[in-house]
Amino acid sequence: MDIMADITHKCNMTCKNCYIPNRDVPDMDLEKFRDFLSRLKGRCMIRIVGAEPTMNPRCNEYIEAVFEFGHRCILLTNGLRLSHKSYVDKMHDTGLRHVYLSLNGVDNDDWYEAIDELRCAEKKISALRHLKKRKFILDTGTIIVPEVNEYAPGALLELFDKENINNVLMRIKNVGQLGRYQTDVDDNVKLNQLVRLCSEQMGVSEDYINSFRDQKLYGMYTEKNSILFPLREGNKILNRGRWVKITNWDTDNESGIPDPNSQRRGRITENFTVAPLYEHIKINEGGY
């Protein structure tokens, strides 16, 4: 199971698309988190997330706790603090090897300003370089906003060519209408359009991308709203070489959440139980 741990609601950015924009919630209690980890059955993937998890001054201790109890861990971050080499080293020292870095603007400050309200391309690239140097397994996340960054898939490839980043999972998604968001359902880029954009800009056909629909993700799950594929045909090792995961975060359905009834993703609640991720976010919009 994949569990999101919102270890803080603080953030150092004010992105226009943020599913938990409430900053008034206290940081997660570390001891209760440890107790929670000890009660989990089996080995889980714990996603250390926020708002911005590195805003929690004890972020490294939460990660160390995940490993202490035998679980897997990924840090989901905007990367501002990872622009400092010493911070990346500190994360590496915890045993962390897997980082998800948001790159909504790729290397384009105009895109960052339009989506994330901060011209931060230089810091993002600095974070990328430090992560590459320490050989982190890298996922990147890019939200496609209509009429802003529709050329982001191609720009990502250009950036990774320039930075010699050859092992990466690029997560391309549309805007999710949860919390704070800048694109309504009617104006959103739809899944088929995401496929087209990736096809046009990444050198693979739409047929190739669509051939991966309904295939089991990570050998375990099928998700109707996601397509995961390697850019190099025949590659079987995820994150080795360049991979793409296209995800539909649109809430254009009766439930009003992305991926309704998903059994895969959970979220730690304020009471340290696990709730279905999107359902819990929706119920707590504006709160936890």
Partner 1 sequence: MSRTRDAIKKIAIERLDIKLTDEIIDSGQAFKDIGVDSLDAIELVVSVEDELDIELSDERLDGIENIKQLADYLVEFD
Residues that bind partner 1 (CB under 8 A): 43, 45, 70, 72, 97-98, 135, 137, 166, 218-220, 232, 234-241
Amino acid at 75: L
Q: Please, which residues have CB within 8 angstroms of residue 95's CB and are 6 or more apart in sequence?
A: 63, 64, 67, 73
Nearer to partner 1 among residue 39 and residue 232 (C-beta): 232
Nearer to partner 1, 222 or 273 (CB): 222
Is the four-CA dihedral 232, 236, 238, 241 of positive or negative sign?
A: negative
Q: Which is nearer to partner 1, 135 or 190 (CB)?
A: 135
| Closest approach of partner 1 to the CB of residue 55, in Å | 26
Q: Minimum distance between the CB of residue 30 and partner 1, rounded to whole angstroms?
A: 23
Minimal distance in Å, beta carbon 276 to partner 1? 21
Least distance from partner 1 to the Cβ atom of residue 42, Å = 10
Which of 73/80 has CB closer to partner 1? 73
The CB-based long-range contact list for 192-200 (8 Å cut-off, 24+ gap) reads 194/144, 194/246, 194/248, 195/227, 195/246, 197/144, 197/150, 197/153, 197/172, 198/153, 198/172, 198/244, 198/246, 200/154
